[in-house]
């Protein structure tokens, strides 16, 4: 038997104001689209903004449905639209923000497992890392240099 150790590393920004201007703008777009989320059941709103290598910004918010699990997370809403509308574009950066209607979220909220797997598919397909920035409603912003940092044992087509 042997043991392996896997380490993840994140850059932590104390606030939105510490981010590079380009990322502040991207996160502000994620904040605005978060406000448009359809979240009548969870009352938990998520916004995502993607920066593509063609200069386009793609937005997504979570969309819930009474027939669980028919809804879709903000990250997947944005990434699937990017893949559909701009299939040859690479996703360079992703900004994610989450807020609750019932209490203030101050901890950075990372993508859920389903979103991590979906982002992994695109990162592997484009063969370049996707920088991921995530935060709550206020407070620190975490930066991951790639999805692989968040999901070190990615499942992809090589296993099929």
Binding site per annotation, positions = 62-68, 73, 112, 115
What is the helix (H) or strand (E) element at residue 99, kind and residue range?
Answer: strand 91-100
Q: Spot the catalytic one: 18, 22, 29, 75.
A: 75
Cβ-defined contacts of 117-120 (< 8 Å, 24+): 117/151, 117/154, 117/155, 118/75, 118/76, 118/79, 118/80, 119/75, 119/79, 119/94, 119/147, 120/147, 120/148, 120/151, 120/154, 120/155, 120/156
Binding residues for substrate: 62-68
Binding residues for Zn(2+): 73, 112, 115
Instruction: Report how far residue 38's alpha carbon sits from residue 26's, in angstroms, rounded to the nearest whole number.
Output: 21
Question: Is residue 75 annotated as a catalytic residue, yes or no?
Answer: yes
Beta strand pairing status for 141-144 and 131-135? antiparallel
Active site residues: 75
């Amino acid at each position: 038997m042997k043991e392996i150790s896997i380490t993840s590393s994140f850059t932590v920004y104390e606030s939105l104001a510490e981010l590079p201007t380009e990322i502040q703008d991207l996160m502000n777009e994620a904040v605005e689209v978060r406000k448009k989320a359809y979240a009548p059941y969870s009352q938990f709103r998520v916004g995502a903004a993607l920066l593509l290598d063609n200069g386009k910004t793609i937005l997504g918010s979570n969309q819930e449905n009474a027939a669980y699990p028919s809804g879709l997370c903000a990250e997947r809403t944005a990434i699937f639209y990017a893949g559909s509308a701009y299939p040859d574009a690479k996703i360079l950066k992703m900004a994610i923000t989450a807020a609750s209607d019932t209490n203030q979220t101050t901890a950075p909220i990372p993508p859920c497992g389903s979103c991590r797997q979906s982002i992994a598919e695109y990162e592997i397909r484009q063969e370049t890392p996707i920088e991921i920035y995530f935060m709550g409603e206020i407070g620190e912003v975490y930066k991951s240099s790639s999805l692989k940092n968040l999901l070190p044992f990615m499942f992809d087509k090589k296993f099929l």
